[in-house]
Amino acid sequence: MSICEGRGFRAAARSVTRVVVAVLAAAAVAACAPPKKKADSTLDGVPSVQAKPVAVAIEKPKAPDWRPYFKDVSRGAIRVDLTARRLTYWEPGGETARTFTIAVPRDRSLQRTGRTRIVRRRVGPDWRPTPSMLKRNPKLPSYVPPGPRNPLGEYALYLGWRYYAIHGTNNQRSVGRRATSGCFRLRSDDIEWLFSNASVGTPVLVQGKVSGPRHALPEPKPAETAALSSTPKASVR
């Protein structure tokens, strides 16, 4: 080995030694350093307070009381308020209820009040005019099969009173108005829901009287849908 080669080797060895020593020294310093403190959660010397989530109970609207109107709601119950143009359905047990806007008879000569019950249910009902309808309008068709032109809509709940039913409609704009020949007419979505819940034997109470304008009354606010109207309460018979 030449003198120059020997000198270069020794210089490289010294450089490697210095790097190793520096790395070991840095590791020793890091190991001996005190642990870092967590960020001070104070503001101007006042400790910050962690806000805890608070559970807020949202109270559901209470179902209207069925007891002034029915002795028993084990099979559910329906109350029709002609004055307010509303139908309230209590589910079996009476813990929950749902109120719908309805079309009511055009005038008082067509209305009927009192107690009855659902005696028949039908999907896709057909329609025939009653004798009084034909007397008022002889040009009415004698029969309308199930379908989009049927005035009963897609579902019908027939009552114990002849010619009377709770049903849908092929004219959604008529709901909320004085528009029927005696029946109680609901929007398509509403009658579908009611049909799927009300059964044969469900008691029905019709109260009030047809009054007010022929056009639709204002829709109830969501918080009011569970409240009964101011129609005088009937004694349970």
Residue in this structure with the two tokens 């639709």, named with its chain if needed: 216
What pLDDT score does 224 carry? 43
- Which run of H or E residues covers position 43? strand 42-43
d(CA 86, CA 102): 6
Domain presence at residue 37? no
When mean pLDDT is compared across 6-15, 121-130, 168-177, 210-219, the lowest value belongs to 6-15
Q: Is residue 163 part of a domain?
A: yes
pLDDT band at 15 (very low <50, low <70, confident <90, very high): low
What CATH number is attached to the domain comprising 147?
2.40.440.10
In a domain, 14, yes or no: no
Band of pLDDT at residue 109, cut at 50, 70 and 90: very high
Q: Which domain holds residue 145?
A: 77-224
The answer to whether residue 46 sits within a structural domain is no
Residue 1 lies in a domain: no
Total of domains in the chain: 1
Rounded Cα distance, 14 and 16, in Å: 6
Evaluate whether residue 169 is within a structural domain: yes
Give the sign of the dihedral formed by CA 196, CA 198, CA 201, CA 207.
negative
Picking from 55-69, 110-124, 166-180, which range would have the lowest pLDDT averaged per residue? 55-69
| pTM: predicted TM-score of the whole model, two decimal places | 0.69
Residue 45 has pLDDT above 60, yes or no: no
In a domain, 141, yes or no: yes
Catalytic residues: 167, 183
In a domain, 49, yes or no: no
Confidence of residue 178 (pLDDT cuts 50, 70, 90): very high
The pLDDT value given to residue 63:
85
What are the b/e assignments for 34-47, b being 16+ CB within 10 Å?
eeeeeeeeeeeeee
